[in-house]
Amino acid sequence: MTIRTRKLIGAFALFVLVISWALIAMAVAQFPPIFNNPLIAATYYVVAGIGWVLPAMPLIKWMSGQPIRSR
């Protein structure tokens, strides 16, 4: 598969990942323990905001053509 094709597929996959991550994060943020406590809410939003990067890293490596190694 060419790099160009990988990047196209990866771009669509990243788009789906970010949109679904945001929708799920917004739904979870409405749970009463998170919604009613500002400290827990702030912590949750930091974790949810950065959390999408972890599943995106292997996808970006695949898009660039680098082999994905498991440790």
Question: CA 58, CA 40: separation in Å to the nearest integer?
Answer: 29
Residues 6+ apart with CB under 8 A from 44: 28, 29, 34
In this predicted structure, the answer to whether residue 49 has a pLDDT above a threshold of 70 is yes
The pLDDT tens digits of the residues spanning 12-47 come to: 999 999 999 999 999 999 999 888 999 999 999 999
What is the pLDDT, as a whole number, of residue 45?
Answer: 93
